[in-house]
Amino acid sequence: MDTVEKIKQQISENPILLYMKGSPKLPSCGFSSQASQALMSCGEQFAYVDILQNPDIRAELPKYADWPTFPQLWVDGELVGGCDIIMEMFQQGELQPLIKETAEKYSEEDKQS
């Protein structure tokens, strides 16, 4: 599986996915730290990919997403944006319902299948 296929699979399999430097518990940059903190405070499970451990994804994702920087938040297969957008949405109360609704939507799909 090539890198772009791997990225597409990760995005399709994880309704809430953060590509970041490090992990939510041990972020390796301030922007990734802020983004993961905002997501964690929404109170729902989310997946993450540490791009420092995956240099192939680190190289390919900016081209695939047409977004040059990390972190990148993907919700329901769509790129939401990076740290500034995540923090702005969080402060305006827009991130929480998006994350909650997406988590609920996918947990209901799990129950139905």
Is 84 annotated for ligand binding? Answer: yes
Mean pLDDT for the chain overall: 96
State the pTM of this model. Answer: 0.94
Is 110 annotated for ligand binding? Answer: no
Q: What is the pLDDT of residue 108?
A: 80
pLDDT digits (tens, 9 = 90+) for 36-72: 999 999 999 999 999 999 999 999 999 999 999 999 9
Is 29 annotated for ligand binding? Answer: yes
Is 42 annotated for ligand binding? Answer: no
Tokens encoding 50: 């540490």
Q: What is the pLDDT of residue 97?
A: 98
Is 25 annotated for ligand binding? Answer: no
**Which among 104, 99, 101, 105 has a CA at the least distance from the CA of 18?**
99
pLDDT at 109 over 90: no
Q: What is the pLDDT of residue 1?
A: 84
Is 111 annotated for ligand binding? Answer: no
pLDDT at 112 over 90: no
pLDDT at 3 over 80: yes
- Please give the Cα distance from 106 to 111 (Å, whole number): 9
- State percent of the chain over pLDDT 90: 93
- What's the mean pLDDT in 89-98? 98
Q: Which domains does the chain have, with CATH numbers?
A: 3-108 (3.40.30.10)
pLDDT digits (tens, 9 = 90+) for 27-38: 999 999 999 999
Handedness of CA 44, 11, 48, 38 (dihedral sign): negative
